[in-house]
Structure formats: structure tokens, C-alpha cells
Amino acid sequence: MDERAYTPDEVAQIFQISKHTVYELIKRGDLQAFKIGNKMRIEHAELERYKESMKAPAKKSTEAPSINFMPPAPIRLSGSHDFLVEHFAKQSGSALNMHIQPSFIGSLEGLMMLYRGQCDIAAIHLLDPTSQEYNLPFIHQLFVYENIAVMRFADREQGFIVAKGNPKSILDFTDLTRNDVQFVNRQKGAGTRFLLDSMLSKFGINPSKINGYGKEEWNHLSAASYINRGNADVAFGIQSAASHLGLDFVPVTQEKFDLVFRFTAENKQNLIDLIQYLQSSSFRESLTDLEGYSIQDLGKIIYQTSQTEELV
């Protein structure tokens, strides 16, 4: 028996995928891993099992006719991590008997996956530093011939996540440069990182002056966990992440969080059903934990290409 164990980096090289995709497979339970200390390892046997599970099923013999009922392909949602998006994925699955497969990899990468046809929905909150407009400037640049629609999902409160009582008295961006303040950042391509860097530029703050600027985490809860454990003093993120961990929050700005749907012949009806569900009173009533959110414009189509006007 081969008892080798691989790091996520090695698995990424073997499968020729990104390291983050490996972590996403582990998070979803598709790939089983174990920890030695704080290091993640995947056994060789588990790699072989996963490879076998991903192989296309063998063709049936033509000697006896048979009818194959293939389960419907999942709707793939990629982009920014958000608690309301997690709720939407679960609720719509049960309400519409539809499987939504989320992959929280950051706004920019999610939008690029949609552009490449590798997902059906992108969840994004990207601030264009020139126009100070959210999302649409990026969409106008990327999507010219594709059939897409953009829905306003929520407005979110972004600000500083700090320990209870804000012991370091962190109130504005200049406080991040203090020697006694340890920061934890979000990864490049995250909408929150776009917003942070835009704010730092606005106030003339050099990121190299911020202790921990190079320490990156892949979602709001992971970043907030550093403050909860006492390993950092502040993160820039959403209010709901602070609330989940009982931390304090210093509001800075409100951002626009949108869902981008790309229609194909295969997913068109499913996306129409999802849009109608998002616009329904039953979905709105299912949203109970709304601290840090405004859903006043939930379901509003803010942009669509001419080809999709008859769809939504």
C-alpha cells in the first residue's frame, strides 16, 4: 500500500489546478484531508479515490437497450463569499429542487470564471477606482456578446472588524499604520481587497506601512477569526462576519453586492427559475439575519443585454 501524503500545493500540481481549488474541494468534502499540527495533508489513496470518482462513467453495452436518467447538472456559482449567498444556495436548492454548487474564490476570479464559461452565476462586489462605481464597469469590459443579466442582491456594510471593546481604538485607515496594530488582509482579487486598496490610495497610505498587509485569508470569517483568537487586531470586512464571532465593528462604507447570470441553452430555464425565486416574497421572508445588510433593492435587474430582455 502506498502511504505517501501530499501537501495541497503538491495536489494542485498533480491535478494542474490552483491551490485554492484544492482547499475548496477539501472544504466541500469532495477531497478528504487530515492535519498534522497546522499542516494539511492528503493521502495517496484518497487522491486515487477522487480521480476515480471524477472519471466519466463507462459506456453501457449496446447489446441491451436501456434508459439512463442522468441527474441534472448543478448550477455553478463562483465569486465572493457571503452569508446571504450561502443561504440563497441552500434555500433555492430545497425550494426549487435544484443543486447550486458554490465556489467562494473572490469576486474577480468568479467574474473571470463566468467570462470563461466555467460557471453560471458570479457573486461580485468590485469597486472601479476610476468611476467609483460597483461591478458594472468590469462587466461592460468583459461581456460584449454573452447573454447576461445583473441583479442587485444586497448592500453590505464594510469596515474594521476589531476585538470586543475595540481595545486598540482603531477608528480610521491611518490607525492601520501604527506599530502596535496587527492587520490581516484578504486575498488579491477579492472585492474587499479592491475596496481596501482603493481606500488606502485615497488617503495616501503606503501598504508597506501596515503590519500584516501581506497576510491573506480567503473569506471574511477566516479573517475575522484572527481577531477572535487574538492573532491580529483588525481586519477589513463585513459587519456580519464580526457579528458571527461576537466581535466589534467600525463601519466605513456601504458597498453594492450583485449576482451576474450568464444564460446558455443548457441553463436558461434554471436561471430564470432562480431569478424569479430571488424576486419572490418567500425568499425575502426567509432572510432573518440581516445585520450589516440592506435588501431594499434585492431582485432588481440593474443591467441586461438585449438578448436577455425577454427572459427576465
Cα distance between the two ends of the chain = 55
Spatial CA neighbour of 216 closest among 190, 240, 198: 190
pLDDT score of 75: 96
Residue type, 44: H
DSSP state of 134: B
Residues 44 and 94 in one domain: no
User: What is the signed CA dihedral for 104, 110, 114, 118, rounded to 10 degrees?
Assistant: -50
Is the overall model pTM greater than 0.85, yes or no?
no
Alpha-carbon distance of 209 to 178, in angstroms, equals: 8
Are 240 and 293 in contact by the 8 Å Cβ rule? The answer is yes
Write out pLDDT tens, residues 125-180: 999 999 999 999 999 999 999 999 999 999 999 999 999 999 999 999 999 999 99
Band the pLDDT of 74: cuts 50, 70, 90.
very high
Q: Is 50 exceeded by the pLDDT of residue 185?
A: yes
Q: Is residue 236 helix, strand or coil? A: strand
Q: Is 90 exceeded by the pLDDT of residue 44?
A: no
User: What is the domain range of residue 48?
Assistant: 5-54
Residues 42 and 83 in one domain: no
**In whole numbers, what is the pLDDT of the chain averaged over residues?**
89
CATH of the domain at 87: 3.40.190.290
Residue 66 lies in a domain: no
Residue 94 lies in a domain: yes
Residue 60 lies in a domain: no
Band the pLDDT of 310: cuts 50, 70, 90.
low
pLDDT score of 3: 63
Average pLDDT over residues 302-309: 85
Q: Is 80 exceeded by the pLDDT of residue 219?
A: yes
266 versus 61: the higher-pLDDT residue is 266
Q: Is 70 exceeded by the pLDDT of residue 204?
A: yes
Residue 59 lies in a domain: no
Domain count for the chain, please give it: 2
Work out the number of other CB atoms within 10 angstroms of the CB of residue 269: 11
Average pLDDT over residues 233-239: 98
Residue 97 lies in a domain: yes
Q: Is 60 exceeded by the pLDDT of residue 31?
A: yes
Q: Is 80 exceeded by the pLDDT of residue 57?
A: no
Specify the range with the lowest mean pLDDT, choosing from 8-12, 144-148, 183-187, 269-273.
8-12
